[in-house]
Amino acid sequence: MTVVAIDGPAGAGKSTVARRLAAALGYRHLDTGAMYRGVALAALERGVAPGQAVSVERLAADIDLVIEGDRILIDGRDVSERVREPDVTRAVSAYSAVPGVRAVLVQRQRALAAQRDVVMEGRDIGTAVVPDAAIKIFLTASIRERALRRLADQDTDDAAALAELEASIAARDEADAARAASPFVRAPDAIVVDSTGRNVDEVVAEVLSLISAQGRP
């Protein structure tokens, strides 16, 4: 099976680009960040803190976490919108840093990659989940641009909100890069695509041409 790995920081446009690439290639799209968000939500709801590593790992292994297209279901409940809310966004880095959680989710991600060709997006796809992916893209954008995109999602143009978003995005990048278990780093063989100042069509076209330049998977 072929894997296109799309890694990059929060707000770089990974989901939009990965979804569009998957549609263009006829592959499945898998947002691995949604899986970490699902575990974080389940843990928050059960009052399990990230420091309770054994309990969090058990929970990650026990919950029925299903990704269906762009929807995420936990134990049959559709939590696709719920996992994007601020409490989950604030907590998810800490839960994703638990080695046992990563082990459980990485195993599931590899199993999914073995079933069907996939465009898989996350932070460690090209470094840890599928190091032999056919093509690895590291999608990035300036912190200002990433914060502006998040702000547009929230339908506000408040300057204080922008500064706050920039700070929280930078803090999450740092937390993801500083963790001991598969820290967020660029794979040495990933191709860097910077989406700053460019629209989705341009970025998707660039990645598709990179894929065909490498010989389409």
**What is the spatial distance between Cα 58 and Cα 1, in angstroms, rounded to a whole number?**
30
Q: At closest approach, how far in Å is the CB of 11 from ligand DC?
A: 8
Parallel, antiparallel, or unpaired for β 65-68 and 71-74? antiparallel
> For residues 134-193, which are near ligand DC according to CB under 6 A?
172, 176
Q: At closest approach, how far in Å is the CB of 110 from ligand DC?
A: 12
- Backbone φ and ψ of 207, nearest 5°: -65, -40
The single-letter DSSP state of residue 199 is -
Q: At closest approach, how far in Å is the CB of 206 from ligand DC?
A: 21
Q: In the complex with ligand DC, which residue's Cβ is closer, 8 or 191?
A: 8
Please report whether residue 96 would count as binding ligand DC according to CB under 6 A. Answer: yes
Please report whether residue 195 would count as binding ligand DC according to CB under 6 A. Answer: no
Please report whether residue 93 would count as binding ligand DC according to CB under 6 A. Answer: yes
- How many residues bind ligand DC, per CB under 6 A? 13
Kindly give, in sequence order, each residue whose CB lies less than 8 Å from that of residue 19, ignoring residues fewer than 6 positions away: 29, 70, 119
Pick the stretch among 50-58, 89-97, 111-119, 148-156 that binds ligand DC (CB under 6 A): 89-97
Q: In the complex with ligand DC, which residue's Cβ is closer, 50 or 122?
A: 122
Among the listed residues 6, 2, 65, the one whose alpha carbon sits nearest the alpha carbon of residue 187 = 6
> For residues 21-80, which are near ligand DC according to CB under 6 A?
32-33, 36-37
Kindly give, in sequence order, each residue whose CB lies less than 8 Å from that of residue 8, ignoring residues fewer than 6 positions away: 14, 121, 123, 137, 138, 139, 140
